[in-house]
Amino acid sequence: MQWETVIGLEVHTQLTTQSKIFSGASTAFGAEPNTQACQVDIALPGVLPVLNKGAVERAIRFGLAIGAKLNRVNVFDRKNYFYPDLPKGYQISQLALPIVEGGSLTIRVGETEKTVRLTRAHLEEDAGKSLHEDFHGMTGIDLNRAGTPLLEIVSEPDMRSAAEAVAYAKALHTLVTWIGICDGNMQEGSFRVDANVSVRPKGQAEFGTRREIKNLNSFRFLEQAINYEVRWQIEQIEDGHPIRQATVLFDPDTGETRMMRSKEDAHDYRYFPDPDLLPVRLDEDWIEQVRGGMPELPQDKQVRYRDVFGLSAYDASTLTGSRAMAEYFEAVAAALPRPDPKLAANWVMGDLAASLNKAELDIAASRISTAQLAGLLARIQDGVLSGKLAKQVFEVMWTEGGEPDAIIEAKGLKQMSDSGEVERIIDAVLAANAKSVEEFRAGKEKAFNALVGQVMKATKGKANPAQVNELLRARLG
């Protein structure tokens, strides 16, 4: 039987506010346990939550970025359950009236574009952390994270493969970091993915029973976990065992998912509107103010890169992989003496990206500034450097630092522009390669290329290959 995979993702993004969603305590990562938990976070008797407007503002930004409906009145609910890292015994979240509803995100897998619909995005607070190691059979509780603002972003079950799920997660990651609402740091848990996975016979309209894989904190794990889960579910069904709804965990060491709890053990969270918080009202002025402060979005940049810059869809998509990359590219392109976005794009996606990759650096930490790279490309544009020489200059700029012009000067990497000197070298090469000259005259075009190569070698690559071509042909002609 042919099987089809159905995937929907729930992503918890930690918002970039300085303080927590309902208290003034800091959200900075990595502090000593329980040093960033105030009386509200530890839920002393009598304390009350006060909503951090910065968290709401970030949710508005997200809603605008995905073309969603912003609920002008949205409500915080209490989700009740007991756990030691949940100090109040309930989590403040949004159930019935989330701040963001609908919207969509376009993803690309290979050459195919696809639109993934979003169900909703709601604000909620994070819980603390339970530390089960290092306490000799006891559990340590760190409440620093308790009350950290999260936007939980829920997609429709629109993805049909692990590759699509990863593409969606990456596109979402790009977007939330792009609009500055999340730092995207997956190691620190700023972007955590739950995947709802089911399979069904191809052509069947109804969804199969899903299992939810919790807390995937890398794109690689997301892909591995879904692939494993899909294989497992198909095997189960083919062996005659129907899938039962459950929550599972992915173990990166074994590459397998394992059952955490079944639907039967699911909590009754006894949701109800939090009486300590008023309904959140979004007025139009505020929304417009937020809209006014939004950066140009990746999808808009892609259209512009294609239509105005004449770049390919692939280039446009690559260059908008992050806001920092797009901004870098645009700065380089803008600084060129002659407009040539394709030249800038090739270098940013080529030599620069390769060097950054090798050094494991983000483009924001590039050793070569946009002005320096533009300076280098300007020398290509004015013919001072050949592409090959430019690569050598780039290498020096990357490893040793420095301005391109100074490097060209110091290392003598300037392209030879004096045709007299090139002609002298050509004469010497022709004299030393009489055999090739004969072959060329006998009609072997290959011999001509060998001669060009010899000239380039004799000039240590500094001659302009086009000029060499031209002069050589004239001399042999």
List of residues contacting other proteins (CB under 8 A): 39, 42-51, 78, 80, 82, 84, 87-90, 139, 141, 268, 270-272, 275-278
List phi, psi (to 5°) of 176: -70, -30
**Least CB distance from residue 43 to other proteins, whole Å?**
4
17 token code pair:
């506010």
**Which CB atom, from 44 or from 354, has the smaller least distance to other proteins?**
44
Q: Nearest approach, Cβ of 180 to other proteins (angstroms)?
A: 26
φ/ψ of 216, rounded to 5, equals -90, 125
Amino acid residing at 313: A
The span from the first CA to the last CA of the chain, in angstroms, equals 69
Of 96 and 359, nearer to other proteins (C-beta) is 96
* Closest to 452 in 3D by CA, of 433, 258, 366, 363: 433
> Can you list the positions of beta strands (E) in 39-173?
69-70, 73-74, 77-80, 90-93, 100-101, 104-109, 112-125, 129-131, 140-142, 149-155
| Pick 28 or 44: Cβ nearer other proteins | 44
Least Cβ distance, residue 143 to other proteins (angstroms):
9
Which helix (DSSP H) or strand (DSSP E) does residue 317 occupy?
helix 313-319
Q: Report the residue number, 268 or 360, with the smaller CB distance to other proteins.
A: 268
**Cα 231-236-237 angle, rounded to 5 deg:** 100
| Nearest distance, CB of residue 290 and other proteins, angstroms | 21
Coil, helix or strand for 252? coil
Between 84 and 310, whose beta carbon lies closer to other proteins?
84
Q: At what angle do helices 419-432 and 465-476 cross, to 10 degrees?
A: 60
Query: Among residues 186 and 277, whose Cβ is nearest to other proteins?
Result: 277
CA–CA gap between residue 147 and residue 52 (Å, rounded): 11
DSSP E strands in 264-400: the ranges are 272-273, 280-281
How far is CA 474 from its chain centroid? 52
**Three-class SS state of 429:** helix
Smallest distance from the beta carbon of 193 to other proteins, in angstroms?
Answer: 27
Give min distance, CB of 248 to other proteins, in A: 22
Which residue, 270 or 444, is less far from other proteins as judged by CB?
Answer: 270
Minimum gap (Å) between residue 270 Cβ and other proteins: 4
* Token pair in block for residue 393: 């200059």
The Cβ-side half-sphere exposure at 179, using a 13 Å CA radius, reads 26
Question: What are the start-end ranges of the H helices in 75-182?
Answer: 162-178
Rank residues 55 and 363 by Cβ distance to other proteins and give the closer one.
55
CB of 130 to other proteins, least distance (A): 10
